[in-house]
Amino acid sequence: MKFVNYLILIVFGCLMIYASMGLPSRGDTDAILNRDISPVNSPNAGVHYIKNAYKDAHTPNMVTVTLADYRGYDTMGETTVIFTAGIICFLLLRKKRNINDKKE
């Protein structure tokens, strides 16, 4: 059974490597994601961000503008995820100790 597991793992690894060969190379201006106009003739969001990031927020680091301003909801969700993780640790681990205290 272990052999089958390794076989599946290797086959999927080869499949991923084969699929990655079809990706556009980095910084390719002709790739669909990097074009000014998307295939359905609407302006591309990323190009808009790159052109207007400094004009809109006077912040030289356009990654920060994208994360915290244009995509503020996304960062809010990430913060909420971390908050949930902390609260779950709090609830699971501290409640256990309280039950033990009551037994003593």
Contact residues for other proteins, defined by CB under 8 A? 55-61, 63-65, 67-69, 72-73, 75-76, 78-80, 82-83, 85-87, 89-90, 92-94, 96-97
50 touches 62 (CB < 8 A): yes
> Looking at beta carbons only, is 12 or 83 nearer to other proteins?
83
* Residue that is written with structure tokens 């409640």 in the block: 95
Rounded to an integer, what distance in angstroms lies between the CA atom of residue 13 and that of residue 19? 10
> Looking at beta carbons only, is 7 or 85 nearer to other proteins?
85
Phi-psi region for residue 4, left (φ > 0), alpha (ψ -120 to 50) or beta?
alpha
- Residue 36 Cβ vs other proteins, minimum distance, rounded to whole Å: 24
- Residue 104 Cβ vs other proteins, minimum distance, rounded to whole Å: 14
